[in-house]
A and B are shown apart, each in its own frame.
Chain A
Amino acid sequence: MRSDVQAIYVMWLRQVKRFIRAKSRLVGNIFQPLLFLAAFGFGFRGARFVGIPTTVSYLEFLAPGMIVMSVVFSSMFAGISVLWDRQFGFLKEVLVAPVRRISIVVGKTLGGSTIALIQGFIILAASVALGVRISALSAAACVLLTILVAFSWVGFGLAAASRMEDVHGFSLIMNLLIMPAMFLSTAFFPLEGIPEAFKLVIYANPVTYEVDAVRQVLIGVGYISLWIDLLVILGVTCFTIFTGAYLFSKCEA
């Protein structure tokens, strides 16, 4: 029991320490959402979109999407980093320790979520600096939501890493799954004035609900009922966390 609590702590601490030390990784991770936020936010300032209320600027519309994007990227990466642990041998050290696998999964999830939250918060702060108006209360609600989002994507990364043999699968997942999931959601554009077939894809994408919920909480604009958003997010989070934990418990070093 003692070593299980310690295992959770160690897995958490290790990730946070590595994150703090690798400054270049932090810059790399938040650069893309920041770039999109600034370039699109200011570039499309004059444009009018069907479905975005006239009181809300495109920058404000985009900010929640970019917060979710940075959280998705970094938490997915935290989960899938098991691949690197395997590559560099550290996974074996953890797997022969007298601790339950579930403690390792919990520690990994908490560590990955912590990092994801820090990055999400940086984007949030940057949005405010760029002129997005956010109340403290809505920021707090946003944090709660992003914790769930982070959990679900750590779980997804963990599941993917448990099924892959080497690090080459990572770029495949990134380019074929995560990037499309961002662009085929409501992160960049509203859910109105889009062809029906395209809408189906967007509805089938969990990122849509994550972005929609965060956007409703932050700036009060949404296209789906917040309750449905929450229901989908909770469902997806439970599913990916359990799948990730199960597949990881079966994996060999």
Chain B
Amino acid sequence: MGFVVEARNLTKVYEGGVLAVDHMNFEVEEGEVFGFLGPNGAGKTTTIKILVTLLKPTEGEAKVCGYDVMKKAHEVRKSIGIVFQDPALDTELTGRENLDYHARLYGLSSDVRRRRIEEVLELVELTDRADDLVKKYSGGMRRRLEIARGLMHYPKVLFLDEPTLGLDAQTRRAIWQYIRKLNKEEGMTIFLTTHYIEEADKLCDRVAIIDHGRTIALDKPSNLKDVVGRDVIYVRSSNDLRLAENLKSEGWVSEVKVGEELAIYTSFSEKRIPLIFKVAQEVGVEIESIKMKKPSLEDVYIYYTGRKMRDDEAGPVEHVRMLRGRRLS
């Protein structure tokens, strides 16, 4: 079998012509935490929806646990667990009832059901609140309950769409712990999407960077960062192009890219800042701001796209989603 998830030329064009997923190719290996990193509207959620059989691809194919998502939707559904981006709990029921109903929908026998409910409740530390109505739960507790529910039926792969969206920093770290724990202790393959750099970096064995419906890079976070080089210095100046031209020839500069800001890839960046000023002065360019960074996945994103990864701006898919109400979300 080899891969838990395989996508070949996966493409989704929404009604109205919005290209949300553009010939995507990737594989997810068994037992790994695989992450989709990209801004809102990059096509992450659409891809997940195709993989979990909620949307049909326009072109290409995808297999989950060896089953084609189009032809064997029923088998795919049986072998996966999902935690959606928006909550999908019945808040008028208790935590335990939500888990019990889920287990019944997946055909677990009553003794397995009872035992498994206790197990997953314990894993996410909700045992003592299990009989409270979900509407009395906090955001973090709801998310934990959803993760527990996704695990109920022993899925082979767990899909987490933005698992920590809208949670505070402390709760976010706690959720990370649960995700790590179930990856290690249950050997669960995990496919998550996120637009939080730190989440992808800290949690994932491998990360695919997604932009405009395409995978623009896919590797271990450390390897991705190695591609960027050692350090990055970002400069805003009165004439980025002119400054870039003159910096390229400097021996200590490994690469210069002009995007929203001028990105200079180098090593020992703290020693290079005075040199940049010197060059700028020589060619008559005024520097407005300058900052240096040890590379993060954000810098990898900038390296490939020339843009920063913003999450405050709606991409094309988000926009269509807003116009058409809940249908797509």
Chain A interface residues toward B at CB < 8 A: 2-3, 6-7, 9-10, 13-14, 17-18, 21-22, 86-99, 165-166, 252-253
Query: Which residues of B in the span 76-132 have a Cβ within 8 Å of any Cβ on A?
Result: 77-78, 80, 82, 84, 86-93, 97, 101-102, 104-107
**Which chain A positions have C-beta within 8 A of B105?**
3, 6-7, 10, 94, 97-99
Residues of A within 8 A of B149 (CB): 93
Which residues of chain A are near B53, meaning CB under 8 Å? Answer: 96
Please determine whether B104 and A3 come into contact, CB atoms closer than 8 angstroms. yes
List A contacts of B101 (CB < 8 A). 10, 13-14
Please name 29 pairs of A and B residues whose Cβ atoms are closer than 8 Å in the assembled complex, sorted by A.
A2-B107, A3-B104, A3-B106, A7-B104, A7-B105, A9-B104, A10-B101, A13-B101, A17-B92, A17-B97, A21-B133, A86-B326, A87-B326, A88-B91, A89-B86, A90-B90, A93-B89, A93-B102, A94-B105, A95-B54, A96-B52, A96-B54, A97-B106, A98-B106, A99-B105, A165-B326, A252-B54, A252-B327, A253-B54
Chain A residues within 8 Å of B71, by CB: none
Q: Would you list which residues of chain B between 243 and 273 have a CB under 8 Å from chain A?
A: none
Interface: B8 (CB within 8 A): no
Residues of the B chain whose Cβ atoms lie less than 8 Å from the Cβ of A2: 107
B324 at the interface (CB under 8 A from A): yes
Known: A18-B90, A89-B89, A98-B105. 9 other contacts (CB 8 A): A10-B105, A17-B92, A18-B93, A21-B133, A90-B88, A96-B52, A96-B80, A98-B78, A166-B326
- Interface residue? B319 (CB, 8 A): no
Give Cα A94 to B82, complex, Å.
Answer: 11
Residues on A with beta carbons closer than 8 Å to the beta carbon of B86? 89
**Residue of B at shortest CB range from A9?**
B104
> What is the CB-to-nearest-CB distance from B112 to chain A, in angstroms, rounded to a whole number?
12
A residues in contact with B326, CB < 8 Å: 86-87, 165-166
| CB-contact partner of B107 in A3, A17, A91, under 8 A | A3
Total interface residues in chain B, CB < 8 Å: 31
- Leading 9 A-B pairs by shortest Cβ distance: A3-B107, A89-B88, A6-B104, A97-B105, A98-B77, A165-B325, A98-B78, A93-B88, A10-B101
Docked CA distance A89–B83 (Å): 11
Residues of B within 8 A of A87 (CB): 326
**Residues on B with beta carbons closer than 8 Å to the beta carbon of A6:** 104-105, 107
Best-buried of B77, B80, B105, B326 by chain A (most CB within 10 Å): B105
Instruction: Specify the chain A residue showing the minimal Cβ separation from B149.
Output: A93
CA distance A98 to B107 in the complex (A): 9
Shortest A26–chain B CB gap in Å is 14
Q: A87-B326, A252-B327 are in contact. Are A17 and B93 (CB under 8 A)?
A: yes
Do residues B107 and A90 form an inter-chain contact, with CB atoms below 8 A?
A: no
- Do A92 and B88 have beta carbons less than 8 Å apart? yes
For A252, the chain B residues whose CB sits under 8 A away are 54-55, 327
Q: Which of A3, A14, A99, A165 contacts B90 (CB 8 A)?
A: A14
Residues of chain B contacted by A3 (CB below 8 angstroms): 104-107
Complex CA–CA separation, A6 to B86 (angstroms): 25
In the complex, B184 has a CB within 8 A of chain A: no
Contacting residues, chain B, for A165 (C-beta < 8 A): 324-327
Given A3-B105, A6-B105, A165-B326, answer yes or no on A90-B55 (Cβ-Cβ < 8 Å): no
